[in-house]
């Protein structure tokens, strides 16, 4: 680093940032992966679930004489003296899921929703003819940071799978056109890192050709809505993507050091390091003081520390104006009217147009809410929320709601979306607390605590009681709020990685997650034991391995997957599981109720 001009520091991102696993959220904070204890220490606490008959107190949840049904087995029983007696189904892991015998599907509630998070490029490849675009190429090695072929068409084909899993919202990574080229990946620059994850935006108005077409995105949203599945789109207002050799050449911005063009091939993006170099070495060819950097985003748009651009402060000192992972930082706080960036003015395939008297924030909000207005997107998962001023998020929420209202008015035949636009914030390391983000347009915030806490519940569900009780009391207090919980993420670790692919724990963690108060987020493959993939010197890349469809098709994943489906379907029928008040009814067997309005369930777990 010290051998390069100081101006390159905002572009040599992946050489110096620990996590850079897609520039989404906590990786900006250089969060280390969760500690991986030996699996024996986890299995030592694994309690034995009963397969014997259980007497279950139901408290005031169901009255004497009421008929209730165990959703898992289908068996029914009549409440007598405040109790029922039932036997868990053989595959139920000691669980009995009680609902009224005549219960039907209850109305959707975001706090009771199950959100399935998929990295589009790594989930399902519906069309192989769109796998190569913009000159992008596989690396022929581990393909750590390259595009793998997943697309909107593939995700659409798998919507029935998500429906069977009880999913009622799907969170997709940003669909925008990404930088065409790559940057050096990992601390060691040991792989080519493309924007396969969607967090390196080039053009916010166009879908990336590797993900599919506008019509394919429209079909995805409409088909999801037909199945009662809402679509939550990941959005970024903190930064665009990096500058790359390929984009510098293709869009005529930036410049090389004098005489250094001879070190590049005809297509700059095909540059390869010498045997003694790594993929960060191309920065030595670039003149970061060249006047043609004005042809990129321009100094009125971003802080980037190159050319005549402002240099951002350290993000730990000024989180709003600082640079995350050395990415160009949008000036969303500026009240200065700006012109459309020169490279977008000259870009042939764009819907970005000049806006009158518009600020950077105005442009970004117009571009992002355009996806709501055109396609009926139901919500946003907001990346790096604490690194943009709160007023911007409130403005985004207001205009997204207006866009949704417009979509509903123009598409009266669509059964979804709901009337209210939903926004969830990614704020590392937010926990279960009502923070100021709920006053800035957000309906929920991601909870970073459960990933660690859920391991105790995977070994024995009663270990979750203190957590369930605490979460419920906090979220259903005098000033209610909601959080979104997870056990795996693209920024931290896979549960399957931590439990050493133990099927018993992968199966049992379903109840720990899906019974937690608040919105539950399943990271693709949580339900099938998807394995950690190649990762290089970036410890998070392996969390984005390809979805393990072969394990599903062969039946290998079925014992775990079937259990997740049963619990997911029960949760989908009863939003009270996530949104309702939690009351423990018995310690042995472990029994609790969740009640939300007229929606009520009792969940029991028995151990030998």
- String of b and e for 378-397 (b: at least 16 CB within 10 Å)? bbbbbbbbbbbbbebbebbb
**Domain presence at residue 378:** yes
The pLDDT averaged over each successive group of 10 residues in the chain (608 residues) is 32 32 37 38 70 96 98 98 97 97 92 98 98 96 98 98 98 98 96 98 98 98 96 98 98 96 94 96 96 97 96 91 94 98 96 98 98 98 96 98 96 85 96 96 97 95 98 96 97 84 91 98 97 95 98 97 98 97 97 97 96
Is residue 426 among the annotated active site residues?
A: yes
What is the model's pLDDT at position 120? 98
Give 45-49 contacts, CB < 8 A, sequence gap 24+: 45/456, 45/459, 45/460, 46/459, 46/460, 46/504, 46/505, 47/459, 47/460, 47/462, 47/607, 47/608, 48/607, 48/608, 49/88, 49/92, 49/93, 49/94, 49/95, 49/605, 49/606, 49/607, 49/608
Structure tokens at 215: 């019509």
**C-alpha span between 194 and 131 (Å, rounded):** 13
What is the model's pLDDT at position 499? 66
**C-alpha span between 306 and 288 (Å, rounded):** 5
What is the model's pLDDT at position 321? 94
What is the model's pLDDT at position 316? 85
Q: What is the CATH number of the domain that holds 173?
A: 3.20.20
Report the DSSP pairing between strands 183-185 and 599-605. unpaired
| H/E element, 513 | helix 503-514
pTM of the predicted structure, to 2 decimals: 0.94
What is the model's pLDDT at position 41? 35
**Domain presence at residue 49:** no
Q: How many CB atoms lie within 10 A of CB 473?
A: 13
From the list 151, 234, 426, 551, the catalytic residue is 426
What is the model's pLDDT at position 418? 79
For the chain, how many structural domains are there in total? 1
What is the model's pLDDT at position 416? 79
Fill in the DSSP letter of residue 321. T
Say if CB 442 and CB 382 are below 8 A apart: yes
Name every residue whose Cβ is closer than 8 Å to that of residue 445 and which is 6 or more positions away in sequence.
385, 424, 425, 426, 427, 430, 435, 437, 438, 481, 483, 484
From the list 177, 234, 383, 453, the catalytic residue is 383
Secondary structure class of 68 (helix, strand, coil): strand
**Domain presence at residue 360:** yes
Name every residue whose Cβ is closer than 8 Å to that of residue 595 and which is 6 or more positions away in sequence.
61, 576, 580, 581, 583
> What is the C-alpha R_g of the chain?
25
**Domain presence at residue 194:** yes
**Domain presence at residue 38:** no
Structure tokens at 335: 């009240």
**Domain presence at residue 139:** yes
**Domain presence at residue 341:** yes
**C-alpha span between 421 and 400 (Å, rounded):** 7
- The whole domain housing 205 covers 6-32+113-446
What is the model's pLDDT at position 46? 87
Q: Which of 224, 172, 166 is nearest to 561 (CA)?
A: 166
What is the model's pLDDT at position 425? 98
């Amino acid at each position: 680093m010290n051998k390069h001009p100081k101006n390159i520091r905002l572009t040599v991102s992946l050489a110096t940032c620990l996590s850079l696993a897609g520039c989404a959220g906590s990786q900006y904070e250089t969060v280390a992966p969760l500690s991986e204890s030996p699996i024996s220490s986890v299995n030592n606490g694994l309690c034995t679930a009963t397969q014997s008959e259980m007497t279950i107190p139901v408290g005031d949840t169901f009255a004497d004489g009421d008929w209730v049904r165990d959703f898992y087995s289908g068996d029914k029983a009549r409440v007598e003296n405040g109790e029922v007696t039932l036997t868990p189904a053989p595959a139920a892991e000691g669980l009995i899921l009680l609902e009224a015998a005549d219960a039907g599907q209850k109305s959707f509630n975001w706090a009771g929703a199950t959100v399935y998070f998929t990295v589009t490029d790594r989930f399902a490849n519906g069309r192989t003819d769109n796998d190569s675009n913009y000159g992008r190429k596989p690396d022929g090695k581990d393909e750590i940071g390259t595009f793998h072929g997943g697309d909107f068409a593939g995700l659409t084909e798998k919507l029935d799978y998500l429906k069977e899993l009880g999913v009622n919202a799907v969170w997709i990574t940003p669909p925008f056109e990404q930088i065409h080229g790559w940057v050096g990946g990992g601390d060691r620059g040991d792989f080519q890192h493309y924007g396969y994850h969607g967090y390196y935006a080039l053009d916010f108005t166009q879908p990336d050709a590797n993900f599919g077409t506008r019509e394919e995105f429209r079909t995805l949203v409409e088909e999801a809505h037909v199945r009662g599945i809402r679509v939550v789109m990941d959005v970024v207002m903190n930064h665009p993507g990096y500058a790359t050799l390929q984009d510098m050449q293709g869009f005529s911005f930036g410049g090389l050091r004098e005489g250094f063009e001879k070190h590049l091939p005809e297509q700059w993006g095909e540059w390869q390091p010498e045997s003694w170099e790594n993929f960060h070495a191309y920065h030595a060819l670039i003149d970061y003081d060249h006047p043609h950097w004005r042809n990129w985003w321009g100094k009125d748009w971003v802080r980037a520390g190159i050319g005549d651009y402002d240099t951002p402060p350290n993000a730990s000192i000024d989180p709003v104006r600082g640079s995350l992972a050395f990415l160009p930082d949008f000036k969303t706080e500026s009240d200065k009217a700006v012109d459309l960036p020169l490279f977008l003015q000259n870009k042939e395939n764009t819907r970005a147009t000049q806006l009158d008297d518009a600020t950077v924030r105005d442009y970004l909000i117009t571009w992002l809410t355009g996806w709501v207005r055109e396609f009926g997107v139901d919500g946003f998962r907001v990346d790096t929320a604490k690194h943009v001023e709160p007023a911007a998020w409130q403005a985004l929420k207001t205009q997204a709601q207006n866009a949704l209202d417009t979509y509903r008015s123009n598409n009266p035949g669509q059964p979804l979306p709901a009337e209210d636009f939903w926004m969830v914030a990614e704020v590392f390391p937010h926990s279960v607390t009502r923070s100021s983000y709920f006053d800035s347009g957000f309906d929920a915030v991601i909870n970073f605590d459960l990933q660690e806490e859920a391991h105790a519940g995977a070994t024995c569900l009663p270990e979750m009681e203190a957590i369930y009780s605490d979460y419920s009391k906090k979220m259903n207090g005098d000033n209610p709020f909601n959080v979104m919980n997870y056990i795996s993420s693209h920024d931290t670790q896979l549960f399957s990685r931590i439990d050493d692919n133990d099927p018993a724990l992968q199966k049992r963690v379903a109840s720990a997650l899906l019974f937690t108060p608040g919105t539950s987020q399943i990271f693709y493959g949580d339900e099938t034991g998807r394995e950690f993939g190649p990762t290089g010197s970036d410890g998070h890349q392996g969390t984005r391995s390809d979805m393990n469809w072969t394990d599903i098709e062969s039946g290998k994943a079925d014992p775990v997957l079937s259990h997740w489906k049963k619990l997911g379907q029960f949760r989908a029928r009863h939003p009270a599981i996530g949104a309702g008040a939690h009351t423990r009814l018995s310690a042995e067997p472990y029994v609790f109720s969740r009640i939300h309005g007229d929606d009520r369930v009792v969940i029991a777990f028995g151990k030998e």
